[in-house]
Structure 1
């Protein structure tokens, strides 16, 4: 692939958009977007089918991690598979800073690890 992965600002992610969170399990458990699909980058190739099962024709995938590095790599991988994917600039840190909703297990306050 050539060049950086395309990015969008967290405010450009639509509420009904397909948000793919590629952070590891402990990061996800600490706090995540409620309707996000969680497939850790470390297991992404093995679990790729979980994403394709959720995809509708020509649907854009918004890829997020903590700060944007891992999600940029996954975005490039998806684009190489002819999937319309964009990296969420600033990751979950930007998501939380923008006041977007985070959820965590009951009894814990959501946070971004």
Structure 2
């Protein structure tokens, strides 16, 4: 199954952005409005993901988010992979924040 994909610079500013990276990656740097659910927790926490809107899924480079988007689409949600992940997000100079007190970066 082909997973829909979008470039980081094309993700709508008001889109629902789901970050499926691990905790240490999230702490280092993430999009300000992103929701963090690590890939390994997604099946158990899927009810936290809105069913009525498109979900843009991001990880570090795009592999884990493609898996998550494929699964979400499989269960009837509308999910789009962010191609290139947070590395592309950072390259596109989209907003980022960190939880560490240090400048944000993609771990």
Q: Same fold (TM over 0.5)?
A: yes
Under TM normalisation by the shorter chain, which class is it? over 0.9
TM-score (norm 1): 0.90
Question: Displacement of 1:12 after TM fit?
Answer: 1.3
- Are 1:24 and 2:22 counterparts? yes
Measure, in 2, the Cα distance between the counterparts of 1:107 and 1:61: 28
Q: Is the 8 A contact 2:31 2:96 kept in 1?
A: yes
Listed one character per residue, the Cα deviations across residues 57-91 of structure 1 (whole Å, up to 9, x for unaligned) are 3x110000000000000000000111111000000
- Unaligned residue ranges in structure 1 (runs of 5+): none
Listed one character per residue, the Cα deviations across residues 16-72 of structure 1 (whole Å, up to 9, x for unaligned) are 000000000000000000110100001111111111xxx263x11000000000000
Number of residue pairs aligned between Structure 1 and Structure 2 = 107
Q: Paired residue for 1:15, among 13, 16, 36?
A: 13
TM-score (norm 2): 0.95
Q: Which runs of 4+ in 1 moved over 6 A?
A: none
Measure, in 2, the Cα distance between the counterparts of 1:33 and 1:69: 18
Is the partner of 2:17 in helix, strand or coil?
A: strand
Is the partner of 1:79 in helix, strand or coil?
A: helix
- Are 1:85 and 2:68 counterparts? no
- Unaligned residue ranges in structure 2 (runs of 5+): none
Question: Displacement of 1:106 after TM fit?
Answer: 5.9
